[in-house]
Amino acid sequence: MPELPEVETIARKLRPELVGRSIVKADLLWSRTLAAPAPAEFHKQIKGQEIQAVGRRAKYLNIRLSEYHLFVHLRMSGDLYIKEENTTPEKHDRLILSLTPVPSLSGGGEKAPLPLGEGLGVRGSKLVFNDTRKFGRVWLVRDPNEVVSGLGPEPLSEEFTAQALYERLRSRHRQLKPLLLDQSFLAGLGNIYTDEALHKARLHPLAVSDSVNWEQAQALWEAIREVLQEGIRRNGASIDWVYRGGEFQNYLRVYDRVGQPCQVCGTVIVRLVIGQRGTHVCPDCQRIGS
């Protein structure tokens, strides 16, 4: 599943290609892709909407329109492509948004395309949501809170300080790994970046949150921000067939490195199952209770 750095990368690549264009029509090829509103209302409301911004909240893409917000959660296998207008829909395409032509620059020339997907920058192109496993969802809402009100703070925001993390950890009595994966506690982290941050902070994923002292909380805060920023800088991690184009997988400390030596101490990385999630740990660097 794409995590914060992968979704941020997608948003940054889509932004210059979508902003300023309008949606001519929508083709909903699998109705359950749409979480809200009902299909008839969706087609009526989205037609003619201008795309004003492309952003991210946690793992959600937030495409801000003239009057609405179009949220997309990619889940396990979702992906977004920009394709040529006359491209034949593929087997797993779930939603297709036909777009107006690329706006001209002030000098009269065409907008320069970026290397994202097939047919990028072609006049009259379309935005396609493809989802093999059908877990991804789309919302069209006026108020973003209808979708994201239950999310915790953004880990790269100014409001998310070391003190804020320390207080949140101390107010709960949960194992660190499941807590950091809880999107209501902290928004955007998934399996990869949680394992990486915990290793960098030298904290065991089974440690209980209210046992974390100030120095450990500060180290965890720094580690979370550093691994996310590095992930964004490297366009995310391409671990499986779903998300492509990133290179952070070449710089992982513990995730997906079972049986390999820790880059810090040389101890062999092991895999635990915590909360039904595969978890990667260095037994020496991440001693529980240390």
Q: At what angle do helices 191-200 and 214-233 cross, to 10 degrees?
A: 130
| Cis before 37? omega within 30 | yes
Tell me: the pLDDT tens digits for 110-155?
443 333 334 344 455 999 999 999 999 999 999 999 999 999 999 9
Residue 228: how many other CB atoms lie within 10 Å:
22
| Model-wide pTM > 0.75 | yes
CA distance 123 to 204: 52
* φ, ψ dihedrals at 45, nearest 5°: -75, -35
Instruction: State residue 106's pLDDT score.
Output: 40
Instruction: State residue 113's pLDDT score.
Output: 38
Through-space distance between the first and last CA atoms of the chain, rounded to whole angstroms? 31
The sign of the torsion formed by the CA atoms of 274, 277, 278, 281 equals negative
pLDDT tens digits in sequence order for the chain, 290 residues long: 689 999 999 999 999 999 999 999 999 999 999 999 999 999 999 999 999 999 999 999 999 999 999 999 999 888 898 998 888 999 999 999 999 987 654 444 444 333 333 434 445 599 999 999 999 999 999 999 999 999 999 999 999 999 999 999 999 999 999 999 999 999 999 999 999 999 999 999 999 999 999 999 999 999 999 999 999 999 888 876 556 678 898 999 999 999 999 999 999 999 999 989 999 999 999 998 76
Topology (CATH level 3) of domain 4-147: N-terminal domain of MutM-like DNA repair proteins (3.20.190)
Q: How deeply is 106 buried, as exposed, middle or buried, from its count of CB atoms within 10 A (0-12, 13-18, 19+)?
A: exposed
Half-sphere exposure of 227 (CA within 13 A, CB side): 28
Instruction: State residue 77's pLDDT score.
Output: 86
* φ, ψ dihedrals at 254, nearest 5°: -130, -35
- Domain assignments of the chain as residue spans, ordered by start: 4-147, 162-281
**Quick check: 270 and 283 in contact, CB under 8 A?**
yes
Instruction: State residue 242's pLDDT score.
Output: 57
Instruction: State residue 117's pLDDT score.
Output: 39
Answer yes or no: same fold for 4-147 and 162-281. no
Q: Which CATH number among 1.10.8.50, 3.40.630.30, 1.10.600.10, 3.90.226.10 corresponds to the domain 162-281?
A: 1.10.8.50
CA distance 248 to 238: 7
Mind telling me the catalytic residues? 2-3, 59, 277
Instruction: State residue 108's pLDDT score.
Output: 41
Instruction: State residue 152's pLDDT score.
Output: 97
Q: Which residue has the tokens 């779930």?
A: 94
